[in-house]
Amino acid sequence: MKKVCALLVFVGLLMASPLAYAAEPKIGTFDMDRVLNESKRWAKEREAFEKKQKEWQQTLEKKAAELKALKESYEKKPGMLSEEARREKEREFQQKAKELERMGQDAEGELKPMYQEIITRFTKNLKKVAAKLGKDGNYTVILEAGLVMYADDETDITDQVLKAFDAAKE
């Protein structure tokens, strides 16, 4: 009898506990890459970066083609060139190879900080949007899907994040 009374008291206390009435956590996940790639708001910045990247790539490919043509012309007539002319072609090839390498480093030096700046601003704005969406939607937590090992499809709010992100003003 004592055990039954103790059990009833325990259940009564548990029912009166605020833990029994705590709201279930509401979790949302979103695909940040999809937001970055599909956002209309960031399309201009994304396109400007891709244009700059393409310009560098075309310049590097042109220089690489020149270098390849120089090497092929040198290799086709090795016996026809004097020792002096051969050394001059080798120096020219070495110089153009170094120039191509420097251009590649210049491209990386220009593009990498540009990309970092874009991503930093994007992330800062995305955090503001996620915070507002979280408060308005009563979410306990909103996570980037790439950081989550598993999440049910029901937690995916990428479309909502994308829509809110495009609608937000800086």
The helix (run of H) or strand (run of E) holding residue 55 is helix 43-76
Domain total in the chain: 1
The tens digit of pLDDT for each residue in 58-107 reads 999 999 998 888 888 777 766 677 778 778 878 888 898 899 899 999 99
The tens digit of pLDDT for each residue in 107-157 reads 999 999 999 999 999 999 999 999 999 999 999 999 999 888 998 999 999
Residue 15 is assigned to a structural domain of this protein? no
- What is the C-alpha separation between 100 and 103, in angstroms, rounded? 5
Residue 2 is assigned to a structural domain of this protein? no
Q: Which region holds residue 156: left if phi is over 0, alpha if psi is between -120 and 50, else beta?
A: beta
In this predicted structure, the answer to whether residue 44 has a pLDDT above a threshold of 60 is yes
Residue 1 is assigned to a structural domain of this protein? no
Backbone angles phi, psi at 80, to 5 degrees: -85, -15
Residue 148 is assigned to a structural domain of this protein? yes
Residue 7 is assigned to a structural domain of this protein? no
- What is the C-alpha separation between 165 and 113, in angstroms, rounded? 24
Q: Which domain holds residue 155?
A: 20-167
Residue 9 is assigned to a structural domain of this protein? no
Closest by Cα among 28, 55, 60 to 156: 28
Residue 41 is assigned to a structural domain of this protein? yes
Q: What is the pTM of this model?
A: 0.68
DSSP 20: G
Residue 4 is assigned to a structural domain of this protein? no
